[in-house]
Amino acid sequence: MKTLSILILKLAGLALVLLCWRLVSRHAFSFLWSVLLMWGTVALVPVLAIAGRWLLDRHPTPERASLLTIPIHYAEGILLGCALIVAFRFTQVKPNDSRCGAKSDHFSSAENLGYTCYFDGSEFGD
């Protein structure tokens, strides 16, 4: 019975991870939100790990360890996966596309900072 409940917990966690990744990959974020999501979610991973370790040290039993590490690891997967998805989309810049507001051939020019365009033509910026 415990094995079945752990399997259900793992499948529900996997479904939640995939749902969060899909929501993030379908949404276009502004420059500010992209930076906050990239760095903020990565900064939350050690906090989550420390909180999980603290909860585990309060009552260290094998059953509690297995039930506690599953949601902690899925939450870390959500955070890191969302950060990677936003980071990959954030760096997909078309510097020569006039629809994206690009003024020169350089990726790091002052005119292009804060404005990003995806390869499919969708755009976002401040």
Please write the tens of the pLDDT for every residue from 44-98.
999 999 999 999 899 888 888 888 888 899 999 999 998 998 888 877 654 444 5
The domain total for the chain is 2
pLDDT band at 19 (very low <50, low <70, confident <90, very high): very high
Structure tokens at 77: 């997967």
Structure tokens at 87: 């980071």
40 and 13 in one domain? yes
Distance, in Å, from the CA atom of 6 to the CA atom of 41, rounded to the nearest integer, reads: 26
* Mean pLDDT over the full length of the chain: 77
- Counting residues of the chain whose pLDDT is more than 90, the rounded percentage is 23
Q: Name the more confident of 101 and 30.
A: 30
78 and 44 in one domain? yes
79 and 31 in one domain? yes
Judge whether 71 and 16 are in contact, CB under 8 Å: no
26 and 79 in one domain? yes
99 and 41 in one domain? no
Q: Name the more confident of 37 and 124.
A: 37
For residue 100, give the nearest of 86, 83, 84, 114 by alpha carbon.
114
Q: Which domain holds residue 107?
A: 92-126
Distance, in Å, from the CA atom of 100 to the CA atom of 117, rounded to the nearest integer, reads: 5
pLDDT of 96: 46
83 and 46 in one domain? yes
pLDDT of 47: 94
